[in-house]
Amino acid sequence: MHEFSIAMDIVDIATSSAMKEEATVVKEIEIEIGQLSGVVMEALEFSLEAAVKGTILENARRNLIIVEGKARCTQCLTEYDTDTLFKPCPMCQACAPDVIQGRDLRVKSLIVE
């Protein structure tokens, strides 16, 4: 499952940054998920549940934030919201979007102790 390896990466990233701060417990983790990242939210939550077992993230509150997709038309430069990578421009109907937001998945912040 795609989401499981993503969950493992999140745990790795969070664990190493918590270690850098000499934290022993992570209280909260904030994760940003782009609407266009291709990640299935439910699958990711389920995978995280398993991936945090036995790590310092085990009891952390997980805050998953969806980042909306945004594209810029490469023909007329209109910016518009999109939930797919191929949505045509609402102004000129060209199907040449340049995705400018919502593609990434990242650990935004950690609250540690």
Report if residue 89 touches Zn ion, rule: CB under 5 A: yes
Report if residue 91 touches Zn ion, rule: CB under 5 A: yes
Report if residue 1 touches Zn ion, rule: CB under 5 A: no
Report if residue 71 touches Zn ion, rule: CB under 5 A: no
User: C-beta of 18: minimal distance to Zn ion in Å?
Assistant: 44
Report if residue 100 touches Zn ion, rule: CB under 5 A: no
What is the DSSP track for 4-49? HHHHHHHHHHHHHHHHHTT-S-EEEEEEEEETTS---HHHHHHHHH
User: C-beta of 78: minimal distance to Zn ion in Å?
Assistant: 5
Report if residue 73 touches Zn ion, rule: CB under 5 A: yes
User: C-beta of 89: minimal distance to Zn ion in Å?
Assistant: 3
| Calpha distance 67→4 (Å, rounded) | 20
Quote the Cα angle for 67-41-70, to 5°: 25
Which residues from 10-29 bind Zn ion, rule CB under 5 A? none
26 phi/psi in degrees, rounded to 5? -100, 125
Give the closest residue to 63 by CA, choosing from 14, 109, 3, 22.
109
The contact set with Zn ion (CB under 5 A) reads: 73, 75-76, 78, 89, 91-92, 94
